[in-house]
């Protein structure tokens, strides 16, 4: 187990562009609002976005905690670590797989977390090196899968669920993002990415839909502005959805053992 961390929850998606980082930031803030000590580890080495979403100033660097360790940054009451704090984010990270996995492992093991109840890991899209490194190196309490109702996104979300199943990480549920668009002018609502996809995939894999989020301008603007919805609109409907999701994650963490790590097996 990582020192200073009770539970680890991976937030993942099969493909990019489904709002996984936005969901991670808001879910972490919602968990903190429920009274837990929460951290966020941005595991997307190529495209880290948590620093911007959580309002950490560009160029901010973590404080050293020892010769090879560092303290996480603080943002909106969360402890945060990201590759964005260690490199120039305007430069591309042109690295092969082993270097990416190595960098992630350093972030994971060289950050001195301060007595966290839950560490949310914002995973890069896909089912590659970083996902395997996480599953092999630390006991992950569970995973949250983010998808849109679109058939193509659901296809990739299935792969994400299957991958966590293969490495014995329980899937806590599916968050269906962009499930409904409500016109800000006339109030007309339309499921522009399709509908019912989250329920279908949850039923197929015997898991649950943790929540459904609308496609709204404010969620995007608030995340881009460094104050995600849960802190920008603490009494709003979207925040209530995230807090309900956080309570479901907490309930499942309490039911899962944090003492045993997942065993890697790819045989049938």
State the alpha helices, DSSP H only, in the chain: 20-33, 50-53, 97-109, 129-137, 151-166, 197-204, 217-224, 229-232, 237-255
Question: How many angstroms separate the CA atoms of 10 and 135, rounded?
Answer: 10
What pLDDT does residue 260 have? 44
The reply to whether 201 falls in a domain is yes
In a domain, 261, yes or no: no
Check residue 157 and give left, alpha or beta (phi > 0: left; psi -120 to 50: alpha).
alpha
Is the Cβ–Cβ distance between 167 and 264 less than 8 Å? Answer: yes
Measured from the Cβ of residue 9, the count of other Cβ atoms closer than 10 Å reads 25
Rounded Cα distance, 28 and 95, in Å: 29
Tell me the whole-structure pTM to 2 decimals. 0.89
Q: What is the distance in angstroms between the CA of the first residue and the CA of the last residue of the chain? A: 27
| Domain assignment present for 267 | no
Domain with residue 158: its CATH number is: 3.40.50.300
Cα separation, 205 vs 161, in Å, equals: 8
Is 106 part of any domain?
yes
Q: Which domain holds residue 187?
A: 5-255
pLDDT tens by residue, the chain, 268 residues: 789 999 999 999 877 788 899 999 999 999 999 999 999 999 888 888 999 999 999 889 999 988 889 999 999 999 999 988 887 767 777 777 778 888 888 888 899 999 999 999 999 887 678 888 888 888 999 999 998 887 777 888 888 899 899 889 999 999 998 887 777 778 777 777 767 777 888 888 888 999 999 888 889 899 999 999 999 999 999 999 999 999 999 999 988 754 444 433 333 3
Overall domain count for the chain: 1
Q: Answer whether residue 103 is part of any domain.
A: yes
Residue 80 resides in a domain: yes
pLDDT at 178: 86
Decide if 117 is inside a domain.
yes
pLDDT for 268: 34
- Listed residue (119, 37, 46) closest to 81, CA to CA: 119
In a domain, 197, yes or no: yes
């Amino acid at each position: 187990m990582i020192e200073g961390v009770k539970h680890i929850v991976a937030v993942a998606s099969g493909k990019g562009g489904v709002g996984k980082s936005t969901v991670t930031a808001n879910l972490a803030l919602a968990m903190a609002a429920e009274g837990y000590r929460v951290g966020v580890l941005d595991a997307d080495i190529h495209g880290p976005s948590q620093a911007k979403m959580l309002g950490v100033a560009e160029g901010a660097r973590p404080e050293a905690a020892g010769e090879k360790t560092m303290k996480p940054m603080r943002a909106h009451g969360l402890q945060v670590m990201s590759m964005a704090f260690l490199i120039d984010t305007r430069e591309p990270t042109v690295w092969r797989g082993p270097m990416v996995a190595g960098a992630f492992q350093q972030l994971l093991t060289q950050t001195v977390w301060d007595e966290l109840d839950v560490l949310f890991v914002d995973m890069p899209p896909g089912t590659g090196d970083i996902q395997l490194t996480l599953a092999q190196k630390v006991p992950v309490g569970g995973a949250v899968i983010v998808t849109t109702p679109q058939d193509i996104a659901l296809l990739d979300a299935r792969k994400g669920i299957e991958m966590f199943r293969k490495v014995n990480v329980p899937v806590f549920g599916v968050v269906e993002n962009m499930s409904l668009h409500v016109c800000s002018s006339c109030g007309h609502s339309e499921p522009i990415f399709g509908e019912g996809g989250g329920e279908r995939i949850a039923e197929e894999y015997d898991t649950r839909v943790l929540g459904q989020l609308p496609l709204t301008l404010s969620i995007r603007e608030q995340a881009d502005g460094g104050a995600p919805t849960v802190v920008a609109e603490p009494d709003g409907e979207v925040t209530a959805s995230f807090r309900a999701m956080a309570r479901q994650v907490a309930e499942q963490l309490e039911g899962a053992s944090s003492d045993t790590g997942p065993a890697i097996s790819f045989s049938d």
